[in-house]
Amino acid sequence: MIVDHAALWAAETNTYVIALDAGGPGVVVDAPPDLDGIVALLDRHRIVPVALLLTHGHVDHTGGSGTFVARTGVAAYLHPDDEFLGAHPFDQLRMLFGGVPPGDYRPPERFTDLADGQHLSMAGLEITVVHTPGHTPGHCSFHLPGEGLLFSGDHLFAGSIGRTDLPGGDFDTLMESMRTKILPLPDDTKVLPGHGPATTVGRERTRNPFIRDLLGA
């Protein structure tokens, strides 16, 4: 199985490709505004994308989705509670940078809805959608139980959690998602976050200060 990533764009957003074999179909997780970087990641393993899964609507994760969809013809999947973000990348760029840096940030013509507990069978992969709101209202993590993998987006990082001070963010909601959706997973589940290095659920249970505080450790 192939699981590879590249940290792309100004925010060094982790874009992942998942596939059973080199030269076959695969899935992309998140699309920052760096089409060349995403294509290079796919070309590294000769992967043909069949879907784009978006963890949430922030521009550093969705800003390249429109150009990627236009180039490949795949569907871009996003939880409907985050469409207010994914459909308006320019508003986010103006808020974060005070303007719109050069680049093609157009969203796709439409997003395909994700739902909590949804089962996706694509490219020979079995993926469960886990709605983990808090960083954004529609934030989703993607669990591959057969492989022991969790793509956590900006919900959970190695040693930290996603920020909750942007529109739609809520700390209490994020921690409730952590308690009910993430911590019940096996400790050896490998966590692949939207930024920074990989970790495991067990490591974060014992070392992450936010989770230790949640558990009263």
How buried is residue 97: exposed, middle or buried, by Cβ count under 10 Å (0-12/13-18/19+)? Answer: exposed
- Asked if 16 and 42 touch (Cβ cutoff 8 Å), the reply is no
Q: Given strand 48-53, what is the order of strands in its sheet?
A: 2-8, 13-19, 25-29, 48-53, 75-78, 112-113
Q: What is the pLDDT of residue 97?
A: 74
* Alpha-carbon span 18 to 23, nearest angstrom: 12
* Alpha-carbon span 80 to 37, nearest angstrom: 27
How buried is residue 186: exposed, middle or buried, by Cβ count under 10 Å (0-12/13-18/19+)? Answer: exposed
Question: Which residue type occupies 102?
Answer: P
User: Which fold is adopted by the domain 2-215?
Assistant: Metallo-beta-lactamase; Chain A (3.60.15)
Taking only the tens of pLDDT, the chain with its 217 residues reads 999 999 999 999 999 999 999 999 999 999 999 999 999 999 999 999 999 999 999 999 999 999 999 999 999 999 999 999 999 898 888 887 777 887 788 899 999 999 999 999 999 999 999 999 999 999 999 999 999 999 999 999 999 999 999 989 999 999 999 999 999 999 999 999 999 999 999 999 999 999 999 999 7
Give the global pTM.
0.96
